[in-house]
Amino acid sequence: MRKVPFALCLAGLTLGGAGLAGCSQKTATETAEPVTKAEAQSVLADFAQAAQSMDLPMIDKWYDDDVIAYDAFGPDVIDGKVSMHVANARFVDMKFDHVEMPDPKIQILGPDLFIASGKVHLTSSAGKEKEADMRYTEVFRKKADGSWVTVHEHIDVPPAT
């Protein structure tokens, strides 16, 4: 928030507040409308569609430059866009061409941040592995240009029941 000396604000009050709007100006984040659940669900659907496309550049564009991720099949943390590209290439090689993310749980954290989590069912018409079930958590952040990116991803395999 922009800081204005108290004396100026007091002077503005005695003048009826005219001409000193700076005393109550809010930043863009403070005045932005929070992301709605419907918008978050739409972002998640677009993310799933990119994953289903098996188009590596389309998938890569969803990840922030400083993304941190944990993959179900690797012990190491994925730290940054280059490491994420390598993980995404492994995913594309698996040829999962159908992605279902039923009943996602959406948690709105602010005007430009939300978490989506749930289960994902992957199927493949061409890959060696024909289907897989996983759990995911994605943290999405809205960039200044209005696009959404994932800043944190965690994928794991549910325990056998």
pLDDT tens per residue, range 23-32: 444 434 455 6
Q: Are residues 49 and 36 in the same domain?
A: yes
Q: What is the longest distance spanned by two Cα atoms in the chain?
A: 76
Q: Are residues 17 and 83 in the same domain?
A: no
What is the domain range of residue 18?
1-31
Q: Is 85 helix (H, G, I), strand (E, B) or coil?
A: helix
Contact 84, 117 (CB under 8 A): no
Q: Are residues 27 and 44 in the same domain?
A: no
Q: Are residues 113 and 148 in the same domain?
A: yes
Q: Are residues 41 and 26 in the same domain?
A: no
CA–centroid distance for 85 within its chain = 17
pTM of the model: 0.78
- Residue range 147-158, pLDDT digits in tens: 999 999 999 998
Beta strands at 131-142 and 113-123: parallel, antiparallel or unpaired: antiparallel
Is position 4 within any domain?
yes
